[in-house]
Amino acid sequence: MSGRGETTKETSPSAALPTQDNVTEQQKKKIVHIVYIIAALDITWMFLQFSVTPYLAKKLGFDTLWFGYLQTTVGLIQLLGGPMFGRFADIFGARAALSLACSSTVVFFLLLAIAENPAMLFIHKLPTVFMHVLPACQMVVADLSAPEKRADALSKIGLCFGIGMIAGSTLGGHLNTRFGETFTACFGAVGSAFSLLLVLKFIPKTTKSEASGTNKDSENKSKSIFNVGEIIRLLKFPGVKRTFVVKIVAGLPSGIFQVMFSIIALDFFKLKPEQNGYLMAYFGIASMVVQGGVVGRLTARYSENSLLLLSIGVSSLVGLAQAYMQDVFQFCLTVVPMMFSLSVFNVITDSMLTKSVPSSETGTMMGLCSSVQSLLRTVGPTLGGFMYVNYGISSIGLIQFVVNIAVFVHLLQRHLRKTAEHQQ
């Protein structure tokens, strides 16, 4: 009997580790590593569906503008769901949040597999309201990492992003070419179910510390998941609102290019699914190099404000280069600096924002961060589709150049003014 009891403890770490306070450093590392695996798998399935949706939409008669509307629908749904999901994660814990997100991904792929008309293509996007695996993973990493090491720990999720981008794009391109959209979507559903099993097996109920007060107030907070005032309250913490404005304004132009890229690859570069998969794999390699070998070292040596300036400056130059590119080769030359600016910008802003709020609110803050990306995906497709159809691809790059230069100059002036005040 005792042996069976011991086996239960060993095979159910999630039950044995209810809070952060009774988790050893070794166990924390194990949980974080499992979270990295879950994040890499989620990105794999996401890029797998990127190899399905544009081509399925084209078969169903979608033009560039209607595909933009489809992407806008996703952004709007996730914009509304992100903050609420983050609050759900803070109240009910990491395991419940990740289980909900992975289950929603399974439903998402099953609906995609049976999408045979334009209406179903829109309906299959509804589960994205809960599909926030990456923010939930970021919350766990933020909870289990020291503040001074948080940027480096979050950058490792970016490394997982690169791995998932390579695996998902390559796998999706091959599966779609050889077996079609339905089989590829079913494959994504099976993969997402495997991610769910990892969550149930290894992720503890909560990664919050008892000191954060989350458990003490859980009964009261559980009634206020949809309390918008409690979510907006986080914007009142020092520096949060300014960082959010920078994240939105500087991120919008590059966000437009990202959400329009599948159409650009299909219409401007004339890429086939398999070729598009190879190009996305190249993105992944560049992202892995940057996230794994560059971002962590930079955060250890330089201040977050300096790195934020650097990422915005590089992004403006990337926009200028993309405004004048003519073919895939020229675009590939901009990929490394583009991935560098995106990686550093996202990691630094996320790190700054989570440090600005109590540890009990990191899930809600990550939900707000994901809502920024959703806002970009909401506005980006419609705005990007209009710009691309009427003014060409160069207009998107020029907008990115102008906006990021303006933000760079503003932040630089503010940084120099603060430096001068400290010296006095």
Q: What is the mean pLDDT of the chain?
A: 82
**Whether pLDDT at 312 is above 90:** yes
Higher pLDDT residue, 171 or 259? 171
Exposure letters 248-285 (e unless 16+ CB within 10 A, then b): bebbbbbbbbbbbbbbbbbbbbebebbebbebbbbbbb
**Whether pLDDT at 16 is above 50:** no
Residue with tokens 């042996």: 3
| Token output for 337 | 């600096």
Tell me the mean pLDDT in the region 220-231. 61
| Band (33; pLDDT cuts 50, 70, 90) | very high
Report d(CA 101, CA 192) in Å as an integer: 10
**Whether pLDDT at 11 is above 80:** no
Residue with tokens 């929603």: 104
Other C-beta atoms within 10 Å of 224: how many? 14
Q: How many residues does the chain have?
A: 424
88-147: per-residue pLDDT in tens?
A: 888 888 899 999 999 999 999 999 999 888 889 899 999 999 999 988 998 888 888 877
pLDDT value at residue 407: 94
| Band (275; pLDDT cuts 50, 70, 90) | confident
- Strand ranges for 162-306 from DSSP E: none
Tell me the mean pLDDT in the region 68-73. 78
Sign of the CA dihedral 357, 359, 363, 369?
A: positive
Other C-beta atoms within 10 Å of 59: how many? 10
Report d(CA 174, CA 368) in Å as an integer: 35
Instruction: Look at residue 157 and give its three-state secondary structure.
Output: helix
Other C-beta atoms within 10 Å of 229: how many? 7
| Token output for 201 | 């097996």
DSSP 272: -
**Whether pLDDT at 223 is above 70:** no
pLDDT value at residue 12: 42
Report d(CA 87, CA 208) in Å as an integer: 13
pLDDT value at residue 197: 95
Cβ contact 291:162 at 8 Å? yes
Question: Domain locations in the chain?
Answer: 20-209+231-423
**Whether pLDDT at 34 is above 90:** yes
Q: Reply yes or no on domain 20-209+231-423 having CATH 1.20.1250.20.
A: yes
Percent of the chain whose pLDDT exceeds 90: 24
Report d(CA 295, CA 343) in Å as an integer: 8
DSSP annotation string for 209-228: -GGGTTTTTHHHHGGGTT-H
